[in-house]
Amino acid sequence: MTTTSIQRSGLGKAMGGVGRAREFGILIALALVVIAATAKNPNFLFSADGWRDLLLTPSILVLVAVGQAIVIITRNVDLSVGSVMGLTAYLTGRLFIDIPGIPIVIVVIAAVAFGALLGLVNGALVAFAKVPAMVITLGTLYAYRGINVLWAGSDRVNASDMPKDFLGLGTAQLIGIPVLAIVALIVLAIAAWYMRNTRSGREYYAIGSDPAAAELYGLKVTRRLLTAFVLSGALAGLAGVFYAARYGSVSSQAGAGWELDAVGAAVIGGIAITGGVGSVWGAAIGAMLLMTINRALPILGIQDFWQRAVVGALIIGAIVLDRVLAVRQKRRLIEARDES
Amino acid sequence: MTATTATATTRVIREHDRPLWHRVLLTREMAIIALLILVIVVAMSTVRGFGQPITLNYLLLDVAPILLIALPMALIMVTGEIDLSVGSMVGLASVVTGVLTQAGAPFEVAALAALAVGVVGGAVNGFLVTVVGLPSLAVTIGTLALFRGLAVGLLGTTAVTDFPEMWTALAKAKIAGTTIPYITVPFLILLVIFVVLLHFTPFGRGIYAIGLSKDAARFSGVHVERTKFILFVLAGVVAAFAGIFFTLRFGSARGDNATGLELQVIAAVVLGGVSVFGGRGQLHGVVAAVLLIGVLSSALRLANVTSDVINIITGGLLVASVVAASLLAWAQRLRARIPPSRLTASSAP
Amino acid sequence: ADTGAGSGGDGGGSEGGSDNLTITFLPKNLGNPYFDTSSKGGKTAVEEIGGTFAEVGPAEATPDAQVSYINTATQQGVGALVVSANDPKAICDALNEARDAGVKVVTFDSDTNPDCRDLFINQADAEGIAKVQVDLIAEQIGGAGEIAVLSASANATNQNAWIDLMTEYLASDYPDITLVETVYGDDDDQTSFDKTAALLQTHPNLKGIISPTTVGIAAAARYLSTSDYKGTVALTGLGTPNQMREYVEDGTVTAFALWNPEELGYLSAYAAAALIQGDITGAEGDTFEAGDLGEYTVGADGTVLLGDPFEFNADNIGDFDF
Amino acid sequence: MLDSVADQIDPLNGEDAPVAVEVENRSPADAALELHRVVKSFGPVVALRSGSLTLRSGSIHALIGENGAGKSTLVKIMAGLYRRDSGEFRLHGDDVDFTSTAQSKAAGIAVIYQEPTLFPDLSVTENIFMGRQPTSRIGRIDRKSMRQEVEQIFRRLGVSLDPDRITEGLSIADQQIIEIAKAISLDASVLIMDEPTAALSGVEVERLFAVARSLRDEGRAVLFISHRFDEVFALCDTVTVMRDGAYISTTPIAETTVDELVRQMVGRDVTELFPKQTVPVGGPLLEVTGLTSPGIFHDISFTVRAGEIVALAGLVGAGRSEVARAVFGVDAYREGEVRMLGETVPRHNPTHAMRAGLALVPEDRRKQGLVIESGVGSNITMAIRSRLAKFGLLTTGMENRAAKEWASRLEVKAHALDTVSSTLSGGNQQKVVLAKWLATNPRVLIIDEPTRGIDVGTKAEVHRLLSQLAGEGMGILMISSELPEVLGMADRVLVMREGRITAEIDRAEATSENVMFAATHATELHS
Ligand SMILES: Nc1ncnc2c1ncn2[C@@H]1O[C@H](COP(=O)(O)OP(=O)(O)OP(=O)(O)O)[C@@H](O)[C@H]1O
Ligand SMILES: Nc1ncnc2c1ncn2[C@@H]1O[C@H](COP(=O)(O)OP(=O)(O)OP(=O)(O)O)[C@@H](O)[C@H]1O
Ligand SMILES: [Mg+2]
Ligand SMILES: [Mg+2]
């Protein structure tokens, strides 16, 4: 029995290693993309705009992906994030137009709160009505977008409608790092700490790992699900503010299709779609990778029309590679039992 | 084995827990069908222009791609998987048909090639899901981008528009004496095939078993991987067929054809009672749901309701339908004082 | 028309004219300020004429979604349908079916094949549009260097036609300017924005960008205004004054062009009414009165020309609000 | 007196039979937990008609009864998972009414459920401490002290699981150990264990008993549910018997006997627990040679002949189930060969194995044996669905005919054929699995833990059935962790240890000593 214990212990450690290796692998892929693009065109990294865009462009998706990751970890999914982001982006613009001189902080708080509210609707439907999240959020994906179009009509928010200070946030830098990227990083770090080191954080994993067991266990499943969706909504809301600041113009279609990017980022980043596995860091790196690939392709000389195809192939490549490595690692570990 | 009968006493087990009317009428499928009929009746009497025979023609032409793809999609979702790449496959098949026709191939050849592309695309999904063992949601998010990217890449800014008159006419032709478009015929054939496949074959039993418990299915000799693979290929082919139809109906092959179709299909399949967790759902519900969405949008459009409101209503209907179902189950449990069973709670459709 | 298309069908080919002044505008998509403005013009005109105005349209600019709306108009038996086509061919059959049922079809902004509509209201002739943009960029970059185009969707009929003409005009009149790449922002803010960023990174020597679409030029201006390239890379194209005001004022953009979309809608509605009432049939040489805009004559291929594109710059942009 | 009461009532006799039986010498003073005439029904199914139970601090109480007697339902009511329809429930003298498991946990009741309820993606440590991890003042989980505590509990239990390993892929036994650790770490005043030993082998059971005893000595109340009488007698002080959802009797263990308890449980006498008849052994059916899957099992060779029951014994984790799965084609193997009647069976393909005449009743009924959310009928016909089809077509009618036949042959107690299998009791579920495989008319039946969690009555039935099948010429490979079952049923015993077969012992020579020896000591016996 003692010998087995040693072997198992080894296996356990190594399995933990595999988990970490997933994020590491994606990080390597990200680095490769950056290096390749920079080699082709040094501007990609070594120009003020290049450096800024490298950090700035993924920031918005990082926020959405972090929220998405938390939801997926609970074995749910939030397909409405794109619509939530669009709505809050429009709300942001609308507030600046309708209440001249409104402080930026108030607008940010309002947008985040509004996003949280939309998330709460999702969460309540999922948690209380016990309806699969995929269905609920597919429904609210349409419904929220519809509300957005109803509200905005053909109106759009233009850069001239928003205060300069606010638009400045979209590009402002602090010690050479874009402010939005810093905010995203802070949010990410807090989320990561919360998910890893607090009781409630761990409960998301437990719920996703086996929802029925979580119920048996007496975990506050309903409350956690609500929180997960509220967090996802709030982060999408914050992303909406970012979107307005960065792109300076918001139409009723803002954020359309982002749900797939967000889910894609989480999945690439090693979040298991079946819940319980992965980290928000992984999702964030996945988001970086997706956006960076998008930016790197034209530089690498891939013609505009083919870029979608390459992105698709890369998504598949990333998850296949990830899987192959994990399987090989696992097999090696099992066979290693014989030697010891 | 005769000896085992020695212990067989008189106890004969009943076939059904609930009476027939209960099983047939109190189902989600029936609720959708009832709703469909209700919407048709209301639209007939209140929406001007809805009662014309041509409405049926437009309606069926509009929903045909969704109807077609919903069939294999329902089966895939019953196994607990999903295919998000179907919309892109419609686009890719359309482009392949166009490119080959443009290059001088006879239309029939081009169409066959498009179907072959459907097979290959479906096989790629199937391979990644079953052999490599990746989650289908992730895989098909990837192929969603890949297939669309190939479609857009192949045609670029151009659109192929010269297809043989005979075929484009056929795509819109009405069955003699009616306003029903001809596309209904292949759809009905496919419907019969899929209904038999899902509800009346051992293969179909396997599909449900996989959706409820992959392990148990495998231990019972169900070829879990093979079954899923076949379904993904079927989804690919049917999507390609829908793509050819799409091309002919609009007489135009473009890279962006049918963008976003996948979500419409999935919405309809779910509305029709297929559980996204797998193991539950029936095709009559799915077909009724596709028609319900179609009729509703058609009637609302006629009433000059804007597309955004139509979207809100579609989304709301989807949410309401599942919420209502689970509220109903909840009420029943309350009456019967059955605790939320650990396993059924998570598998409500 | 009260009984729907059934009765409209009889009137199909008749030249007599009818009093069904229901005019429905079907832009490429809803939520696009350009079409918002054109529909506004259309609405004004329809009200002047005493008809019924409606605007319908899909959320996304795809031909298949447009077809559903064309069919609906056919079922409703509207008097005329005023369409900006998402595809020259794909919506043809649906339009012809509508015409068979007695609906007059006017295209504006983006045409279909000539045999699928009664009239096309052309905002400005294609050569003129191409020329003004090329001239603007040539002036801004000093007649030499690399330029790129940020277009709408890859299949946009009008954009593609203009880009072709621009290429020809560049080759003949500005041999020192090279068009290095055309990218497509799909008339989506964010995509156009990111494509601009990519263009600037990919072509370090880029001197100018032409964006012949209102969404694209605004997004590109937004990116440029926040980047190091502001002032060094020129930007022009077709934009609306309201969206571009900010960037003209801050110097990102010096000049761009556009016709007045409100007038385009206005003219389209009058043309539609003239068709309905049987004043014109769409034949070359027909003339009709278009309210405040005066008299117009139908040209070759059933085309009516609105006028020349207008050039906006810092001096005059303050005079416009659309 | 108790006996007479038990004799008087006959719960099988309709609904209104007088079921209320006063628990003798009720003295709430030292009763830690009391249930009285608790009723619970699930729709039409009455799971508990009158459940009564009194647990005392400093005592280990056994609860026994046939499958479906309502033991687990009673447990779930105590756990706050179900709410009773009526009846009394007192904890330390106070009336309680739990609406969630969190409440019962907070009130000091720790429960080990019959089915392990672990989070497969989380580490062993996290599983044990989920929801109540030790934290620092700012709410940060103190992983170090959490781990130390786990190591301490494991030491006490004498197990050597890696606390950092994820629980995915652990055997049922290891999962059960984690459940036990979880319950112990709760430091509860009442510990309820619903068949904790069903998956455990001798050594682990002994350790568990030691822990249970020390908990008792600390003054806690322990409830122990088991179908194994030896364990009940070895561990418990008092025993309560239930039958058909009703309380039957409570007796000090010293004052009763196995026969007596069995009679109360079943309502009739049960004799011959292991009625294996000797039948002439025929020719070889299943021949396995040199089966190897690196890291899992090595060089496994054996033969199963017609009419023979071969037992595969060994400690938990020895790899027996893996061998069974490889032979049946569910898992792949790297080297070796499986032959049926001389023909090679293609590897990694259960359908081919079925066609060759193999059947496998797997160890995990709920996950592997049954499509648990599916009806009884469709489960029974699952493995013969292709055979039932005519011209490739299959209707529910065809299925139901076959299912009905097999359900009645094995006397499956279910409401109807479309009753969802998860609502059946464990024993009935096992019967459904057996029916499903016997319907395929196999030549060799591999059966993994045939009577895990099954009551005496059903157990005897299963054994009789197995014996009968062997008598008809079927070859049976039986994997079992219960030594009495192995010794009673097997014609030949194969013992596995750490993925290798370490001994082959004939029925005549097989004793618990030499089987255990081979299971724990590697090579000596073999040579
Ligand atoms: N959720 C449920 N829904 C319907 N019936 C149920 C449910 N849970 C249990 N039952 C029924 O209640 C009865 C008692 O079941 P229970 O699980 O308490 O038996 P048990 O004594 O624990 O049996 P075993 O020894 O097999 O574990 C059985 O007939 C069972 O089918
Ligand atoms: N040395 C080891 N290290 C890690 N895991 C192991 C080791 N040995 C066995 N296991 C795992 O423990 C589990 C127990 O193996 P298995 O189920 O084959 O045992 P068994 O003899 O059939 O026991 P049971 O009676 O519980 O079925 C397997 O899942 C196996 O992967
Ligand atoms: Mg039980
Ligand atoms: Mg085992």
C-beta of residue D480 within 8 angstroms of C-beta of residue D313: yes
Whether the CB of D320 sits within 6 Å of ligand 2: yes
* Of the candidates A254, A248, A236, the residue with the CA atom closest to the CA atom of residue C196: A248
CB atoms C87 and B254 under 8 Å? yes
State residue C186's pLDDT score.
Answer: 82
* β-strand pairing of D190-194 with D109-112: parallel
* Confidence grade of residue D521 (pLDDT, cut at 50, 70, 90): low
- Among A253, A295, A311, most C C-beta atoms within 10 A, so best to mutate, is A253
Distance CA B72, CA D395 (A): 21
How far, in Å, from the CA of A4 to the mean position of ligand 2? 11
Q: For residue B70, what are the CA distances in angstroms to A260, B36, B129, B194? A: 20, 17, 20, 10
What phi, psi does C81 have (nearest 5°)?
-120, 130
Query: Which residue has a Cα nearest atom 1 of ligand 2?
Result: A4
Helix or strand or coil: residue D251?
A: strand
CB atoms A134 and B276 under 8 Å? yes
**What is the DSSP code string of B18-77?**
S-HHHHHHSSHHHHHHHHHHHHHHHHHHHSTTTTSHHHHHHHHHHHHHHHHHHHHHHHHH
How far, in Å, from the CA of B329 to the mean position of ligand 1? 21
pLDDT mean over C284-304? 90
State residue C318's pLDDT score.
Answer: 86
- D neighbour chains, 3+ CB pairs within 8 Å: A, B
* Nearest CB to B137 within list A132, A273, A324: A273
pLDDT digits (tens, 9 = 90+) for B67-83: 999 999 999 999 999 99
Q: For residue C114, what are the CA distances in angstroms to A90, A229, B254, C92, D336? A: 39, 52, 20, 9, 75
C-beta of residue A38 within 8 angstroms of C-beta of residue A46: yes
pLDDT mean over B322-330? 75
Query: Is the predicted pLDDT of residue A9 greater than 50, yes or no?
Result: no
Q: Do chains C and D touch (3 or more CB pairs under 8 A)?
A: no
Q: For residue D362, what are the CA distances in angstroms to D358, D452, D467? A: 13, 11, 19
* β-strand pairing of D31-42 with D45-56: antiparallel
Q: For residue B52, what are the CA distances in angstroms to B45, B310, D486? A: 12, 21, 77
- pTM value is 0.81
Contacts of C114 (CB under 8 A, 6+ apart): C120, C301, C302
- C64: which chain B residues are within 8 Å (Cβ-Cβ)? 246, 250, 257-258
Choose one of D53, D66, D73 to mutate for the ligand 1 pocket test, by most ligand atoms within 8 angstroms of C-beta: D73
- Domain segments of chain B as ranges: 26-336
* Of the candidates C189, C250, C244, the residue with the CA atom closest to the CA atom of residue A243: C189
- Among B154, B252, B264, most C C-beta atoms within 10 A, so best to mutate, is B252
- A336: which chain D residues are within 8 Å (Cβ-Cβ)? 295
Amino acid at C209: I
Distance CA C191, CA C194 (A): 5
**What is the DSSP code string of C274-319?**
HHHTTS--S-TT-EEE-GGG-EEE--GGGEEE----EEEETTTGGG
How far, in Å, from the CA of D448 to the mean position of ligand 4? 7
CB burial of residue D445 (10 Å; 0-12, 13-18, 19+): buried
Partner residues linked to B220 by β-bridges:
none
Partner residues linked to D42 by β-bridges:
D45
Q: Which residue has the higher pLDDT, A205 or D2?
A: A205
Distance CA D62, CA D334 (A): 46
CB atoms D418 and B17 under 8 Å? yes
* Confidence grade of residue D446 (pLDDT, cut at 50, 70, 90): very high
pLDDT digits (tens, 9 = 90+) for C7-22: 333 333 444 567 789 9
Note whether B314 contacts A: Cβ–Cβ < 8 A. yes
C-beta of residue D475 within 8 angstroms of C-beta of residue D285: yes
pLDDT mean over D459-463? 85
Amino acid at D147: R
* Confidence grade of residue A336 (pLDDT, cut at 50, 70, 90): low
* CATH architecture of the domain formed by B26-336: Orthogonal Bundle (1.10)
- A neighbour chains, 3+ CB pairs within 8 Å: B, C, D
State residue A104's pLDDT score.
Answer: 93
Residues shown for chain D: 527
CB atoms B319 and A125 under 8 Å? yes
State residue D275's pLDDT score.
Answer: 63
State residue A26's pLDDT score.
Answer: 81
CB atoms B276 and A273 under 8 Å? no
- The CA-CA-CA angle for residues B330, B336, B340, to 5°, reads 45
Contacts of A21 (CB under 8 A, 6+ apart): A325, A329
State residue A260's pLDDT score.
Answer: 82
Query: Which residue has a Cα nearest atom 28 of ligand 2?
Result: D171
As a whole number, the mean pLDDT across chain D is 84
Sheet containing D475-479: which strands, arranged edge to edge? Answer: D358-361, D444-448, D475-479, D309-314, D492-497, D500-506
Which CATH topology does D20-122+166-266 take? Rossmann fold (3.40.50)
Distance CA D116, CA A213 (A): 9
Q: For residue A311, what are the CA distances in angstroms to A56, D22, D180, D257? A: 20, 74, 49, 73
CB burial of residue C35 (10 Å; 0-12, 13-18, 19+): buried
Interface of C with B (CB under 8 A): 4-6, 30, 54, 56-60, 62-65, 67-69, 71-72, 74-77, 87-93, 153-155, 160, 184
- Rg of chain B over Cα atoms, rounded to whole angstroms, equals 22
Pairs across A and C, CB distance < 8 A? 105
pLDDT digits (tens, 9 = 90+) for C72-118: 999 999 999 999 998 888 899 899 999 999 999 999 988 898 999 99
- Among C246, C250, C317, C321, most A C-beta atoms within 10 A, so best to mutate, is C246
Distance CA C183, CA C149 (A): 6
Helix or strand or coil: residue D241?
A: strand
Contacts of C252 (CB under 8 A, 6+ apart): C221, C224, C225, C230, C231, C235
* Start and end residues for every CATH 3.40.50.300 domain found in chain D: 20-122+166-266, 272-357+443-454+474-527
Query: Is the predicted pLDDT of residue B114 greater than 90, yes or no?
Result: yes
State residue A220's pLDDT score.
Answer: 87
Distance CA D343, CA D354 (A): 13
CB atoms B146 and A309 under 8 Å? yes
* Confidence grade of residue B203 (pLDDT, cut at 50, 70, 90): very high
Helix or strand or coil: residue D313?
A: strand
Q: Which residue has the higher pLDDT, B27 or C91?
A: C91
Percentage with pLDDT > 70 across chain D: 88
* Confidence grade of residue C307 (pLDDT, cut at 50, 70, 90): confident
State residue C5's pLDDT score.
Answer: 38
Quote the crossing angle between the two packed helices A48-73 and C189-202, to the nearest 10°: 140
Amino acid at C321: D
Helix or strand or coil: residue C80?
A: strand
Quote the crossing angle between the two packed helices A258-268 and A81-98, to the nearest 10°: 130
Contacts of D523 (CB under 8 A, 6+ apart): D502
- Compare all CA atoms of chain A with the CA of D101 and give the residue at the minimum distance: A218
pLDDT mean over D253-278? 74
Q: For residue B261, what are the CA distances in angstroms to A303, B67, B68, B258, C34? A: 26, 11, 12, 5, 27
Distance CA B132, CA B232 (A): 14
Partner residues linked to C151 by β-bridges:
C184
CATH number given to D272-357+443-454+474-527: 3.40.50.300
What phi, psi does D141 have (nearest 5°)?
-65, 130
Note whether B137 contacts A: Cβ–Cβ < 8 A. yes
DSSP tag of C203: -
Instruction: Tell which atom from ligand 2 comes closest to the C-alpha of D496.
Output: 21
